[in-house]
Structure 1
Amino acid sequence: MSGQELDVVAWIQVVDGRMLAVRARGRDRLYLPGGKRETGEDDWTALSREVREELGVELDPATFRELGVIRADAHDQPAYSRVRMACFTASYQGSMSATGEVDEFRYVGRSDHDLLAPAAGAALDLAVAHGLVP
C-alpha cells in the first residue's frame, strides 16, 4: 500500500444525538458526506459542492465552522494508506436525498462504530468530544 495521504473535507451533521453518514456506491462501509477538493477550491467551496452532489441540500455559509482535523487509516482507497479529513459543521436547507454516487444515508450513534470506515469512526469520536453525540 502506498504511503500517500488522501486529503478530504467532511460534513458532520448531528440530529437527535446521531451523526449523518452515507454509503457511496459499491462501498461496504459508511463515510461522512464530503470528499476531495477540486483544483483551486477552498474548504467551504469543496464541502458545499460535495454535499450538494451527494445529498441535494445547500449548506448555510453563516453557520460553517471547523470541528477539527482527523487522520486515520484509509479504507477502500488503494492509492492511499492514510486519510486527512478536515471536519466541518453547518446547518442546511432543502430536503435530503441520496443522489449522485450515494446509495443511502442514515444517522448513526456510538453503537454503530463497526459500520463506519476508520476516518468516519474517528469523526464520530470527534463529534462525541464536542458534545454533539452523547
Structure 2
Amino acid sequence: MSGIVRVSAAVVVDEDGRALVVRKRGARVFQQPGGKPDPGETPLETVVREVAEETGIHASPADFVPLGRFSEVAANEPDHQVVADAFLLRVEGVDATSTNEIEELRWLREEDVEHTPLAPLSRNHLIRFAWA
C-alpha cells in the first residue's frame, strides 16, 4: 500500500429498512455516502456535510450514531487503504437525490447486496450495520 485515504461514511437506512448506496462519477462500484474531510473538520462534521452534498439529505449531527473506525483496500485509489469513521443514520420520509459528483444512487434491501457491485469497505464492513 502506498497511502492512506481518510474518510467519513454513513450507513443511511430508511423506514423500510433499505440502505442507501451511491456510485460516484467515474466509479464502477457503489459505497456508502461520505468522503474526505475538509481542513479542520471532525469526522462527524465531515459525514454531515458529505451526506448533504451527495444525497441532499440534511440531518442533524445528533442523528448520526458512531459505528467505529474501519480499514480496507480503497476502491477508487489504486494501492491505497481507506480508513473510515463510520456512522449510522436512520431517516424517514426523505427523498435522496444524486448531485454532480454522484452518478447513481440506490436503496438496497439485504437480499440485493450479493448482486450489487460494492466497494470492499461497504461489502466487508459497513453494509451489515443496516440490518444489525
User: Per the shorter chain, which TM-score range?
Assistant: 0.7 to 0.9
Counterpart-to-counterpart distance in 2, 1:123 and 1:54: 18
Counterpart-to-counterpart distance in 1, 2:127 and 2:94: 24
Counterpart residue number, 2:122: 120
- The normalised TM-score by structure 1 is 0.83
Unaligned runs of 5+ in 2: none
Counterpart-to-counterpart distance in 2, 1:64 and 1:76: 25
Unaligned runs of 5+ in 1: none
SS of 2:66's equivalent? strand
Rate the CA distance shift 1:94–1:115 in 2: closer, same or farther, 3 A. Answer: same
Counterpart residue number, 1:133: 131
Counterpart-to-counterpart distance in 2, 1:91 and 1:19: 9
- Say whether 1:84 aligns with 2:91: no
Match runs of 1:7-46 below 5 Å: 7-15=6-14, 16-46=16-46
Deviation at residue 52 of structure 1 after TM alignment: 1.4
Q: AA paired with 1:102? A: I
Counterpart-to-counterpart distance in 1, 2:82 and 2:73: 6
Could you tell which deviates more after superposition, 9-18 or 116-125?
Answer: 9-18
Deviation at residue 61 of structure 1 after TM alignment: 2.1
SS of 2:96's equivalent? coil
Deviation at residue 104 of structure 1 after TM alignment: 1.4
* C-alpha distance after superposition, 1:42-94 (max 9, x if no partner): 1222111111111112112222220121111111213x421111111234585
SS of 2:53's equivalent? helix
* C-alpha distance after superposition, 1:13-44 (max 9, x if no partner): 12333321001111100011000001001122
Deviation at residue 119 of structure 1 after TM alignment: 0.7
- The normalised TM-score by structure 2 is 0.84
Q: AA paired with 2:52? A: R
**How many matched pairs?**
127
SS of 1:13's equivalent? strand
Counterpart-to-counterpart distance in 2, 1:88 and 1:40: 19
Counterpart-to-counterpart distance in 1, 2:39 and 2:50: 14
